[in-house]
A and B are shown apart, each in its own frame.
Chain A
């Protein structure tokens, strides 16, 4: 299928969703298999991926992101994370309930700040993150 988005537009979707969604949950299933669950509470959205395939598919929608290394992928998220922090919003990426990445206001990075160049991205579990995106 033809690529429909620019990279900026794709990354703007979670930011705008964070502004619109206030509370509750959304889940996406195909043939009864749950792929992702979004939980929204207190200016925080958790994207809990139940299957790795969906995140890979989302990354594949933007060819440029797929070609980059994991650190470059994280840098791509920098603008999104910093905008979230400005707006006191937080997005977490989880896999089967385990938090892997925190973006925005509640991010408290340590070593990963050197790699990403921002204090708005926290890598909670690098090993799981690598498994999820590679």
Chain B
């Protein structure tokens, strides 16, 4: 895997999200999506997806808390990752870097 350039930032009060060389391409859009304009409520699958990503976000936040220390960064790398949601395929390539710094608050 090619080495990604590291981003260093200092004295930040909250975690920052840096996206590098991140690209997504959507292919094969399902016609079903466009044939149901009257659909207003979320389907069970959409609710489950929403819960999945919410859960992932919360888990990632907890992992950051556990794994990351001062000046630590977390890097998620996607390589030819194909996702299929609601009949639509998405391909992800690239890296997401989270630079996490903890600064004690002054009273």
Q: Do A and B come from one complex?
A: yes
* Residue pair A22, B83 in contact (C-beta under 8 Å): yes
The residue in chain B whose Cβ has the minimal distance to the Cβ of A29 is B75
Residue A114 lies at the interface, judged by CB distance under 8 Å to chain B? no
* Contact of A57 with B by CB under 8 A: yes
> Given the complex of chains A and B, what is the CA–CA distance between A9 and B87 in angstroms?
24
Q: Is the CB of A30 within 8 A of B48?
A: no
Binding site for A on B (CB under 8 A): 1, 6, 48-49, 51-52, 55-56, 58-59, 61-63, 65-68, 72-85, 89, 91-92
Cβ contacts under 8 Å, A17 to chain B:
52, 56
Extra inter-chain contacts (17) besides given A5-B59, A29-B75, A61-B62, CB under 8 Å = A1-B61, A13-B52, A17-B52, A17-B56, A20-B83, A21-B82, A21-B83, A22-B83, A22-B89, A23-B81, A23-B82, A24-B79, A26-B81, A30-B72, A30-B73, A30-B74, A35-B67
Kindly count the residue-residue contacts between A and B in the assembled complex, taking CB atoms under 8 Å apart: 95
Q: Is A71 an interface residue (CB 8 A)?
A: no
How far is B48's CA from A1's CA once the two chains are assembled, in angstroms?
A: 25
- A17 vs B84: C-alpha distance when bound (angstroms): 10
**Chain A residues with Cβ under 8 A from B67's Cβ?**
30, 35, 53-54, 57
Taking CB atoms, residues of chain A closer than 8 Å to B56 are 13, 17
Q: Per a CB cutoff under 8 Å, which of B62, B66, B85 touches A20?
A: B85
Q: Shortest beta-carbon distance, B72 to chain A, in Å?
A: 6
Chain A residue contacts of B58, Cβ below 8 A: 4-5
Task: Give the CA-CA distance A20 to B49 in the complex, in Å.
Answer: 8
Q: Tell me if A63 is interfacial: C-beta within 8 Å of chain B.
A: no
Whether A21 pairs with B81 at a CB distance below 8 angstroms is yes
User: When the two chains form their complex, are residues B59 and A61 in contact, meaning their CB atoms are under 8 A apart?
Assistant: yes
A5 to B61, CA, bound (A): 12
Do A60 and B77 contact each other (CB < 8 Å), given the known contacts A4-B58, A13-B59?
Answer: no
From A13, A24, A30, B55 is in contact (CB under 8 Å) with A13
**In the complex, chain A residues 34-64 whose Cβ is within 8 Å of any chain B Cβ:** 35, 40, 53-54, 57-58, 60-61
